[in-house]
Structure 1
Amino acid sequence: MNPDHTAREELTMVHEASKTAGAGHGAFMSNNGQIDLEALVNEPLLPELLPYLRSSEVLGTGIHHPLVIEPMGVLTGLANRIYTSKKEALKKAINQQEWETVVFIHERPYRVEAFVQHVLGGIATPLADLSPELKELATVIWSDSENHFEMARYWAELFSKRDGTLLLADERGKELYDTLSNEVTVYRGDHQDSLRLSWSLNKTTAEFFAKRYNEHGRSLLTGTVKKEHIFGVVANRNEAEILVEMRNINITDKR
């Protein structure tokens, strides 16, 4: 949903979408146009969502479904309608092969999985064998994600073949790549995830990530890498992110 919408506007939009989609649940707007919070609270959660309930000491019980990630305890009816309307929209987008829509209907943690399952037909075809358009879509997914390590198996398969070109790159990244020297100094706020592919040309950015989860034992790594080993450059978030395998980095400092 558009982040500029107010909460009331979002509820109204989902209400209308659910009616159009044939949600099968009672409306949660009263006759005078007010939001019926009691109806939202008391409506049972759809059976399809029940297996996706998650409990957290901090956040309480919530839903973590590929189409719906929502806090629980109050607006069960809203979660039902978000799920139903997005499910219908997903079906339509798949039929029309609107792949970007297919991917971004899904919640952020599940988008690379959606890319593989729906766009690539369930097989994680190496990016080197895909069209420029699909590489561009994969770049957007990578850039927008924060849980690469949780979906490591998909990314590992997508990156499994190298052809000497950039597998992931936005427009600014391509321009930046062309300016790089044959050997580049890179930095990483490191922790022992299963990928360790993301490095930065910006030391300040790496320091931020090193401190962000310092309780998990992150450290600041400095190293050098030959340009030929770089297979991705993403610069649209002003992070100057470089993708390179750990084995191709010559570590020169760790603190």
Structure 2
Amino acid sequence: MGIATTFGVASTGTAISTLSGAAATNAALAWLGGGALAAGGGGMAAGNAFLALAGPVGWAIAGVALVGSGLLLWKEKSDQNRLEDIFTLISKRDVKSYELAIVEINERINRIQDESQKLNCATEKTRAFGLDYNLMTEAQQYELGSYVNLMNSSTQLLVNPITGLQPKYDKDNLKEYIAFSKKKIDDKQKSLMVSLSNLLYKINLDERDKTLLWKSFKGNKKFLSSIGMSKKDFEFSIIETVTDALKHKYRSEQG
């Protein structure tokens, strides 16, 4: 999103960096999605999908953008400062995850390069083995088997998810919490709870913090529209349930 808003160009030809508010966000999402639909790109939907693929990266951006857009509505400077502090904590938490992800990616790249060379050598060597496994010598069969194992392990380097970019809280975590708490949560709130739980994971909140966040969400029409809820429906109990669900998650992690 930083690259999109700094270097991207809207479908109108206007630099996104000169736009502000919803116009800038929508233009950046469309740019990430390959351009506006009218220009043959994927539009905002594709941009949102791109962010969703980024796991917690997308959730953090979405959360900061939605709540951050309402920061200026606060009359009390102390309340605004506290909300900014909360999202600073969220950013610092995510930076650590991204740093771990970069280390893991670099390690994978090194292993992929090394194993690619080994597989290239294996490809050349096994050409002489023929195509009939039963006609190969026992030594060739064992060697071929070791190359198959090497290929399988190399494939995992490409398809296994990057640990640092995985969601902190998923639908399975929510299912476990619902079974434990016996609470009834409708489908619309389930999706919201997973998103908010990822946003607030490992962020310590007191009662004042929870109230500030609730009022920020509740007072943000764009956020409410994105989750298909009215201002009346977004009750404080949603924030309470999210924090309770996270406490259950923490207990499970501690064993």
TM beyond 0.5: no
- Which structure would you say has the larger Rg? 2
Structure whose residues are more often strand by fraction: 1
Higher relative contact order at CA 8 Å, sep ≥6: structure 1 or structure 2? 2
Give the TM-score normalised by the residue count of structure 2: 0.22
Greater share of residues in helix: 2
TM-score (norm 1): 0.22
